[in-house]
């Protein structure tokens, strides 16, 4: 009850910020970010777009991946209109495709840029059941698995940048309090297996909750790996708050509109929703902090399942297996076979210059 009252009132927590803090206010202490290069996924609209705008206004160089280059170009134009002279690069990336993630990383590394900050912000809520080209339930593939591979492939570059510049690298995973909606007594990976194989009915909210739980667990395991590497890079995850972004607006209707009208006092504006991401990304007070969960620009507690080191380690092993690339050569073609812990096997011929499958 006390937490809810503080949220409604916007009362500041130990950080000096609260639920009504905006992204610009949260980054005021780190005003000059000219030395920072950041990759921000999902920056074509909503919270990601505001995160990009605010970091660019502080001088950060941005790399904006998107499924649609047209949407990315439009996002770049908006950033530059607000921040003349902003250094913004756009590259194609479909997070639901592991092959697309690998292509993006190859293109980014070819640019020869440093990498100080990675904001894994992109997310989707899929009303209808779908499976990615790699054979994984689409919400999980987009919201978590693509980000897992993206982060893993960029870790060496981030560690190298931190070592060469002496500036701490930071990884921010955007999760949600909805991660706590996944039942603590349910086996996450077994559930994913059953859903993917269509052994049970698809529940879009539960699938979304699972993907957000995976973001939390990924953060915990990633922080441990970074420590083992001796890298001057941290990893934290955030709950941005309840905001009516395109993720929700795409489901407009009488029931949705009524619920949001009644809950209007609980909603954040987009600048407020981007505050926690920006705070964790650049604020000096978060230096050296890793493996934590933040809400309203303050450290918070994830669900019991989200705090499990055992589950985090189990998910990490699963993710490494399912994103592993094994090339099998035959006389007629070359196939990439991805095999997961629950026995998923997705085969796809390697096709040069493959078109992006989804539009942002």
Q: What is the pLDDT of residue 243?
A: 81
Contact 214, 315 (CB under 8 A): yes
- For residue 67, give every residue at least 6 positions away whose Cβ sits within 8 Å of its Cβ, in sequence order, or none: 92, 93, 94, 95, 356, 357, 358, 359, 360
Q: What is the pLDDT of residue 262?
A: 45
The answer to the question of residue 352 being in a domain is no
Q: Which of 76-85, 133-142, 276-285, 339-348 has the lowest mean pLDDT?
A: 339-348
| Cα distances (Å, whole numbers) of residue 161 to 37, 104, 225, 227, 341 | 10, 19, 17, 16, 33
- Which one, of 313, 325, 246, 303, lies nearest residue 46 by Cα? 246
Q: What is the pLDDT of residue 336?
A: 40
CATH number for the domain spanning 138: value is: 3.40.50.720
Q: What is the pLDDT of residue 10?
A: 64
Q: Which residue has the higher pLDDT, 64 or 249?
A: 64
The answer to the question of residue 207 being in a domain is yes
The answer to the question of residue 338 being in a domain is no
- For residue 256, give every residue at least 6 positions away whose Cβ sits within 8 Å of its Cβ, in sequence order, or none: 248
Q: What is the pLDDT of residue 114?
A: 98
Q: Which residue has the higher pLDDT, 346 or 301?
A: 301
Q: What is the pLDDT of residue 247?
A: 46
The answer to the question of residue 360 being in a domain is no
Rounded distance between C-alpha atoms, residue 245 and residue 221, angstroms: 29
pLDDT tens-digit series, residues 151-187: 999 999 999 999 999 999 999 999 999 999 999 999 9
The answer to the question of residue 335 being in a domain is no
202 is catalytic: yes
- Percent of the chain with pLDDT strictly greater than 70: 81
pLDDT tens-digit series, residues 73-103: 999 999 999 999 999 999 999 999 999 999 9
Paired tokens of 78: 């908006």
First to last CA, the chain: 38
The answer to the question of residue 342 being in a domain is no
Does residue 357 have a pLDDT over 90?
A: no
Q: What is the pLDDT of residue 244?
A: 59
| Residue linked to tokens 């990884």 | 171
Q: What is the pLDDT of residue 3?
A: 54
pLDDT tens-digit series, residues 108-124: 999 999 999 999 999 99
Residue 142's pLDDT band, with cuts at 50, 70 and 90, is very high
Rounded distance between C-alpha atoms, residue 158 and residue 177, angstroms: 28
Domain count, the chain: 1
**Environment class of residue 268 by beta-carbon count within 10 Å: exposed (0-12), middle (13-18) or buried (19+)?**
buried
Residue 29's pLDDT band, with cuts at 50, 70 and 90, is confident
The answer to the question of residue 354 being in a domain is no
Q: Considering the entire predicted model, what is its pTM?
A: 0.86
Which of 202, 208, 279, 293 is an active site residue?
Answer: 202
The answer to the question of residue 48 being in a domain is yes
Residue 196's pLDDT band, with cuts at 50, 70 and 90, is very high
Q: What is the pLDDT of residue 136?
A: 96
pLDDT tens-digit series, residues 218-239: 999 999 999 999 999 999 999 9
Rounded distance between C-alpha atoms, residue 143 and residue 215, angstroms: 8
What is the domain range of residue 187?
1-323
Angle, CA of 74, 78 and 83, to the nearest 5°:
145
pLDDT tens-digit series, residues 238-292: 999 988 544 444 444 445 445 444 455 568 999 999 999 999 999 999 999 999 9
């Amino acid at each position: 009850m006390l937490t809810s009252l503080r949220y409604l009132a916007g009362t500041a927590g130990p950080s000096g910020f609260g639920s009504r803090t905006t992204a610009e206010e949260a980054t005021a202490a780190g005003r000059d970010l000219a030395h920072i290069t950041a990759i921000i996924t999902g920056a074509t609209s909503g919270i990601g777009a505001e995160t990009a705008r605010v970091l660019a206004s502080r001088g950060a160089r941005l790399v904006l991946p998107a499924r649609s280059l047209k949407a990315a170009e439009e996002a770049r134009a908006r950033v530059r209109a607000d921040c003349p002279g902003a250094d913004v690069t756009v590259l194609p990336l479909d997070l639901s495709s592991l092959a697309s993630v690998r292509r993006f990383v190859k293109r980014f590394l070819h640019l020869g840029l440093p990498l100080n900050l990675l904001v894994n912000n992109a997310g989707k809520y899929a009303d209808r059941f779908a499976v990615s080209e790699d054979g994984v339930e689409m919400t999980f593939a987009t919201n978590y698995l693509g980000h897992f591979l993206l982060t893993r492939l960029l870790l060496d570059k981030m560690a190298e940048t931190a070592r060469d510049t002496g500036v701490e690298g930071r990884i921010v995973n955007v999760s949600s309090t909805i991660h706590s909606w996944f039942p603590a007594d349910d086996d996450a990976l077994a559930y994913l297996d059953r859903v993917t194989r269509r052994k049970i009915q698809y529940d879009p909210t539960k699938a979304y909750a699972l993907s957000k739980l995976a973001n939390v667990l990924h953060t915990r395991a990633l922080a441990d790996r970074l420590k083992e590497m001796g890298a001057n890079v941290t990893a934290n995850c955030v709950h941005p708050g309840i905001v009516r972004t395109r993720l929700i607006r795409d489901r407009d209707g009488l029931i949705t509109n009524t619920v949001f009208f009644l809950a209007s006092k609980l909603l954040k504006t987009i600048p407020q929703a981007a505050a926690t991401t920006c705070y964790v990304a650049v604020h000096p007070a978060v230096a050296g902090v890793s493996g934590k969960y933040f809400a309203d620009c303050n450290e918070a507690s994830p669900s019991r399942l989200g705090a499990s080191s055992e589950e985090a380690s189990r998910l990490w092993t699963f993710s490494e297996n399912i994103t592993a690339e094994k090339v099998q050569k035959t006389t007629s073609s070359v196939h990439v076979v991805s095999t997961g812990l629950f026995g998923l096997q997705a085969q796809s011929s390697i096709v040069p210059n493959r078109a992006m499958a989804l539009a942002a």
